[in-house]
Amino acid sequence: MSRSTRLWVAAGMFSLCGAWVERAYAVGVAAGTNIDNTAQVTYSVGSVSATATSNTTSVTVAEIVDTVVTLQTPSVPVVPGAVQQEMVFRLTNTGNGPETFQLQMTSALGGDDFDPTAAVPPIYFDTDGSGDLSPGDVPYTAGSNDPVLAADAFVTVLVVNDIPTGVSDGNRGFSRLTATARTGSGAPGATFASQGANGTDAVVGTTGGEDEATGQYLVASIALNAVKSQAVVDQFGGARPIPGARINYTIVVSATGSGTAAASVFNDAIPANTTYAPGTLQLNSVALSDAADADAGDFSTVPAARVRVQLGNLTQASGSQTIQFAVTIN
């Protein structure tokens, strides 16, 4: 493989396109709010009209205890033996009062191919808001820094596992985060007298005051290989690399492993002391124009002479991709 051959695999190497649905929640009137009702009446007695006001009936809004945990990373690509691999969850207080939640993670789940090994500590807050595990993130300790969330507020939580070494491509390992309201959980409608905000009663909402979400690690090690070969044809019918001779390059790109190499781009510099032969760029024997346009390939001299071919999403099933172009020796 020539040293000048560079194969760029764009960021987002693995397909992370799985969609998840962000549910919307209306929290409703805050626990402890007083709802007052006062009516008025006007009437006449003989020719005299009068007005009267009723008593005021007051109802205090009780606290509804609800929480929702959503997975933010549908599938986390990992390689065997990887350590400190995080899944991102969001814990939202969908009740109508402030609530404290206890967090728990488990990776010993059925239905998958391997059990991830919980890191120590296994749960972190995404304190720095980076969306991944970073030095500024604070570990969670049950009973010590349980998240306290105002109504409708959320916190981003990272669940961290190590991946065993003996796993193979395509294996999946599940990990689950469970959040439970400290005030209480159980059957919807269950009440906890005077345990709500501002001394109100707390009522367990439709989520039971507890929710969980499960994410997966997917062992997906995809590698892109490029093999470059060349053939020299001189203007005298021979194969000598002399000025004016043409060098025909053939590069075969193939993906091995599982997963998807997303938006792969082949990029190759024109060797020094040579000039690109216009109109010679091909992908899988189909000619590509030199202009940057609708087809996958183009030739550019800025900032340095190079050819480029957009290969798109490559999987092992895509098969090998053959790129050809030619240069002339100066």
Partner 1 sequence: MIQGTVKFIAAAVIACALQVPAFAQTNCVELKTTGEVEKEVVNDKGEKSKVLVAAADSKVVPGTEVIWTVTASNVCKQPSDKVVITNPVPEHMTLVPGSVVGVGADVTYSVDGRTFAPAGKLMVSENGATRAARAEEYRHVRWEFKNPMPPGSSAFGRFRATLN
Rule CB under 8 A: which residues touch partner 1?
Answer: 26-29, 31, 33, 35-46, 48-50, 52-64, 96, 191, 201, 203, 205
Nearer to partner 1, 47 or 330 (CB): 47
Distances (CA, A) of 149 to 95, 96, 288: 10, 10, 57
CB of 211 to partner 1, least distance (A): 18
Could you tell me if 240 and 212 are in contact, meaning their C-beta atoms sit under 8 angstroms apart?
Answer: no
Nearer to partner 1, 58 or 256 (CB): 58
Nearer to partner 1, 55 or 285 (CB): 55
CB of 198 to partner 1, least distance (A): 14
Q: Tell me how far apart the alpha carbons of residues 174 and 131 are, in angstroms, rounded to a whole number.
A: 20
CB of 210 to partner 1, least distance (A): 17
Nearer to partner 1, 95 or 173 (CB): 95
The 3-state DSSP class for residue 110 equals coil
Could you tell me which of 314, 324, 302 has the C-alpha nearest to residue 258? 314
Could you tell me which of 281, 287, 283 has the C-alpha nearest to residue 300? 281
CB of 197 to partner 1, least distance (A): 12
Could you tell me if 214 and 100 are in contact, meaning their C-beta atoms sit under 8 angstroms apart?
Answer: no
CB of 259 to partner 1, least distance (A): 44
Nearer to partner 1, 8 or 25 (CB): 25
Cα angle: 71, vertex 77, 78; to 5 degrees: 120
